[in-house]
């Protein structure tokens, strides 16, 4: 019964929320989440159960029910024990022990995590795991966010929701990232799951306010409706008014990305009727006056997205405007603030009463200067997460460094995302942050100029770094003081930051940088490369040196077929590989496809270049149990 295979620790992410998060991280209660568990889709798993390649895992279940009693008792005990296993890694390991454990684990798993919606089919997943309450699905690769993929590539929710409608009547939670979701999908979801509680859509598209209206009206148990950086089409439906008038159990309503105006009266009624509401993030069509009224209805909010943070235009200077400071003072529980979509900086001091308690602050849509920021940030001693625009300049970052000693995550976005301008933040800001915020774990920093020295300093000052993403916006830009490539800086990061699992590199980089990554980046799981490297050796270093690598995305770098082939030993352990505008040929990709039958090798052409020439525009490949998908658009060919 017991196979000889050691349970390999899952190569997939242990907890999805810590990886690739676009939304602000929630406070302690979210991470580590007890409910995020993966369905490990490594193709080799079908072999470990001894069923052979032809049969699926489900086929072995029938004979087991005829097993004699003692085994049944054992299974019952096992079931009760395995119920306590929550982490994906543990569950995947347990399922490899033997068939009995495999089956019982499948029965007791309640959270299904699918890191790549094409790695496994809905049918296979729903056959194996029959008692799922929560599903997490991720679709498109990340580089699709930057228009590097033509639209309509895939990642449709439809087949999943159809399958789940049949097999998971008790489904409560659906978390989607980069999936295409239609209004029909939302309708089916709303109709099929009577106890549905939580819908989180991150970077999704394909649906509109009519779909939201259906969810609002049908899902009577809905606690969470979070729309984060998703594209929502305006169907002229007042979706907010579709929530029941009698009251809701809403705990979280996040719709700051919804670009359509909403009916404020309906929203005010909704907030008044939702006594459990803790998280509310408004879109930019909500003015300050309206915000004030909502805050009066919901003083127990913990997370607030402030909408536009500017008055509607008919408020004159002379009028006695509402007392915003008191409004914020009354909301004593606020720990997370965001929004400020159209901020009038004069009003910023209104948030002062809550600054001392803030753990998370998102100014990344607010064009505030250092001068505006300083009085606010000087009160934010507990701040752990800070997202901001580079309009605060190095000076603003220095102020952050001076006060925010507890800072764990910093993201500095560019107000002007161009390559040919001076840029308000630089190595000065980075250095200051590294000196002031020693507990930093995650940083995303866009800048126009940088030095190796500052990056090295950060590598030494911030040993807890898990995520280091530096984007020097000028392509191939060297250290602007020494003129050297940025190799040494990134080398120091991988060398000194022993906990680093995610890295994004930029600036002028030679193969040397990749040699460093291959040598020291032993636990790196996600690597993003753009406009870097000299030759195939760069990619080879990484593929040969980084055993934990799962997600590799590369664009516009001179890596060719030889480099691609050097990773054959590793591709089954990866979630995906993306290479666009590199030196790959069809022949090279074909070789990979032939050598690794369980890999789906997609060659994506740009729509104006559909003739088969030898050069590959974009390669996107991933392991899958299903082989080529059947919803391939015409610009994708699967080798």
Cβ nearer to another protein, comparing 124 with 285: 285
Minimum CB separation of residue 421 from another protein in Å reads 9
Which of 26, 224, 207, 8 minimizes the C-alpha distance to 134? 224
Task: Tell me whether residue 320 is exposed, middle or buried, using C-beta atoms within 10 angstroms of its C-beta: 0 to 12, 13 to 18, 19 or more.
Answer: exposed
Is-contact 294 267, C-beta < 8 A? yes
Q: What is the rounded distance in angstroms from the CA atom of residue 625 to the CA atom of residue 113? A: 15
Which of 203, 12, 39 minimizes the C-alpha distance to 121? 39
| Per-residue CA distances from 435 to 387, 463, 565 (Å) | 18, 12, 42
Q: Phi-psi category of 106—alpha, beta or left, where left has phi over 0 and alpha has psi -120 to 50?
A: alpha
Residue with token string 């509310």? 280
Minimum CB separation of residue 315 from another protein in Å reads 8
Assigned token pair, 291: 């915000």
Residue with token string 């720990």? 335
Sign for the CA dihedral angle at 359, 296, 299, 231 comes to: negative
Q: How does DSSP classify residue 572?
A: G
Residue with token string 């060719």? 560
Cβ nearer to another protein, comparing 161 with 529: 529
Cross-strand partners of 412: 388, 445
Cβ nearer to another protein, comparing 7 with 321: 321
Verify cis geometry, omega within 30 degrees of 0, for the bond prior to 251: no
Q: What is the rounded distance in angstroms from the CA atom of residue 413 to the CA atom of residue 407? A: 17
Minimum CB separation of residue 159 from another protein in Å reads 26
Q: How does DSSP classify residue 12?
A: S
Q: What is the rounded distance in angstroms from the CA atom of residue 39 to the CA atom of residue 106? A: 10
Cβ nearer to another protein, comparing 94 with 286: 286
Cβ nearer to another protein, comparing 246 with 317: 317
Minimum CB separation of residue 317 from another protein in Å reads 5
Cross-strand partners of 205: 180
Cβ nearer to another protein, comparing 242 with 559: 559
Minimum CB separation of residue 440 from another protein in Å reads 21
Cross-strand partners of 112: 135
Q: What is the rounded distance in angstroms from the CA atom of residue 611 to the CA atom of residue 176? A: 34
Determine how β-strand 636-638 pairs with β-strand 599-604. Answer: antiparallel
Minimum CB separation of residue 144 from another protein in Å reads 9
Minimum CB separation of residue 579 from another protein in Å reads 10
Residues near another protein (CB under 8 A) are: 143, 145-148, 203, 229, 231, 257, 284, 310-311, 313, 315-318, 341-342, 344-346, 364-365, 367, 389, 413-420, 446, 471, 473, 475-476, 508, 510, 530-535, 555-556, 558, 580-583, 606, 608-609, 613, 615, 617-618
Output the CA torsion 243→248→249→253 (10° steps).
Answer: 40
Cβ nearer to another protein, comparing 219 with 430: 430
Which of 304, 415, 400, 421 minimizes the C-alpha distance to 367? 415
Minimum CB separation of residue 307 from another protein in Å reads 13
Cβ nearer to another protein, comparing 168 with 365: 365
Cβ nearer to another protein, comparing 354 with 584: 584
Which of 442, 437, 443 minimizes the C-alpha distance to 461? 437
Is-contact 313 336, C-beta < 8 A? no
Cβ nearer to another protein, comparing 231 with 406: 231
Residue with token string 């998280």? 279
Cβ nearer to another protein, comparing 65 with 146: 146
Q: How does DSSP classify residue 312?
A: -
Minimum CB separation of residue 594 from another protein in Å reads 24
Minimum CB separation of residue 341 from another protein in Å reads 7
Is-contact 534 512, C-beta < 8 A? no
Minimum CB separation of residue 609 from another protein in Å reads 5
CB atoms within 10 A of CB 535: 17
CB atoms within 10 A of CB 34: 11
Cβ nearer to another protein, comparing 57 with 139: 139
Cross-strand partners of 386: 361, 410
Cβ nearer to another protein, comparing 149 with 331: 149
| Per-residue CA distances from 99 to 58, 120, 125, 356 (Å) | 11, 20, 17, 54
Minimum CB separation of residue 152 from another protein in Å reads 14
Cβ nearer to another protein, comparing 129 with 576: 576
Q: How does DSSP classify residue 8?
A: P
- In what helix (H) or strand (E) does residue 280 lie, and over which residues does it extend? strand 279-282
Cβ nearer to another protein, comparing 153 with 531: 531
Minimum CB separation of residue 390 from another protein in Å reads 11
Minimum CB separation of residue 564 from another protein in Å reads 15
Minimum CB separation of residue 95 from another protein in Å reads 36
């Amino acid at each position: 019964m017991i196979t000889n295979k050691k349970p390999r620790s899952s190569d997939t992410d242990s907890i999805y929320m810590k990886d690739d998060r676009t939304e602000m991280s929630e406070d302690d209660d979210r991470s580590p989440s007890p409910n995020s568990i993966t369905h490990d889709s490594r193709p080799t798993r079908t072999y470990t159960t001894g069923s052979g390649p032809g049969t699926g895992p489900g086929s072995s279940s029938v004979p087991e029910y005829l097993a004699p009693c003692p085994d049944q008792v054992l299974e019952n005990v096992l079931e009760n024990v395995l119920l306590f296993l929550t982490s994906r890694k543990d569950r995947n390991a347990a399922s490899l022990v033997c068939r009995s454990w495999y089956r019982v684990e499948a029965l007791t798993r309640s959270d299904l995590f699918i890191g790549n919606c094409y790695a496994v089919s809905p049918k296979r997943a729903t056959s194996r795991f029959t008692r799922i309450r929560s599903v997490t699905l991720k679709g498109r690769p990340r580089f699709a966010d930057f228009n590097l993929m033509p639209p309509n590539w895939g990642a449709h929710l439809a087949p999943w929701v159809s399958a789940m409608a049949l097999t998971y009547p008790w489904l409560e939670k659906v978390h989607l990232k980069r999936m295409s979701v239609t209004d029909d999908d939302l309708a089916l979801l709303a109709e099929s799951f009577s106890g549905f509680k939580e819908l989180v859509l991150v970077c999704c598209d394909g649906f509109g306010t009519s779909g939201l209206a259906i969810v609002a009206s049908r899902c009577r148990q809905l606690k969470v409706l979070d729309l984060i950086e998703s594209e929502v089409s305006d169907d002229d439906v007042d979706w907010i008014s579709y929530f029941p008038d009698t009251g809701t159990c809403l705990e979280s309503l996040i719709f700051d990305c919804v670009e359509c105006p909403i009916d404020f009266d309906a929203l005010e009624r909704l907030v008044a009727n939702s006594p459990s509401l803790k998280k509310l993030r408004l879109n930019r069509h909500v003015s300050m006056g309206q915000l004030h009224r909502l805050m009066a209805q919901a003083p127990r909010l913990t997370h607030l997205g402030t909408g536009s943070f500017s008055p509607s235009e008919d408020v004159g200077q002379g009028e006695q405007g509402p007392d915003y400071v008191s409004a914020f003072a009354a909301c004593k529980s606020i720990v997370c603030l965001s929004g400020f979509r159209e901020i009038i900086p004069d009003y910023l001091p209104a948030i002062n009463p809550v600054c001392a308690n803030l753990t998370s602050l998102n100014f990344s849509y607010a064009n505030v200067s250092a001068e505006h920021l300083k009085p606010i940030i000087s009160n934010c001693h507990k701040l752990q997460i800070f997202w901001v625009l580079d309009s605060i300049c190095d000076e603003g970052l220095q102020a952050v460094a001076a006060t925010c000693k507890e800072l764990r995550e910093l993201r500095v976005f560019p107000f002007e995302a161009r390559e040919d301008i001076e840029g308000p933040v630089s190595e000065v800001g980075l250095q200051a942050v590294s000196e002031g915020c020693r507990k930093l774990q995650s940083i995303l920093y866009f800048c126009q100029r940088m030095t190796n020295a500052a990056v090295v300093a950060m590598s030494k000052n911030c040993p807890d770094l898990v995520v280091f993403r530096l984007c020097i916006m000028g392509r191939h830009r060297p250290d602007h003081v020494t003129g050297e490539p940025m190799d040494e800086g990134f080398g120091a990061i991988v060398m000194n930051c022993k906990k680093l699992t995610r890295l994004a590199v930029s600036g002028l980089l030679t193969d040397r940088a990749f040699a460093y990554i291959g040598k020291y980046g032993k636990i790196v799981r996600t690597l993003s490369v753009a406009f870097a490297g000299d030759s195939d050796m760069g990619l080879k270093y990484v593929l040969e040196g980084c055993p934990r690598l799962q997600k590799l995305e590369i664009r516009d770098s001179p890596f060719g077929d030889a480099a691609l082939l050097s990773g054959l030993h590793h591709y089954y352990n990866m979630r995906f590989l993306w290479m666009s505008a590199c030196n790959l040929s069809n022949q090279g990709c074909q070789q990979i496809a032939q050598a690794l039958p369980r890999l789906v090798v997609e060659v994506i052409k740009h729509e104006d270049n559909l003739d088969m020439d030898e050069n590959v525009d974009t390669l996107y490949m991933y392991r899958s149990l299903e082989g080529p998908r059947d919803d391939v658009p015409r610009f994708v060919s699967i080798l």
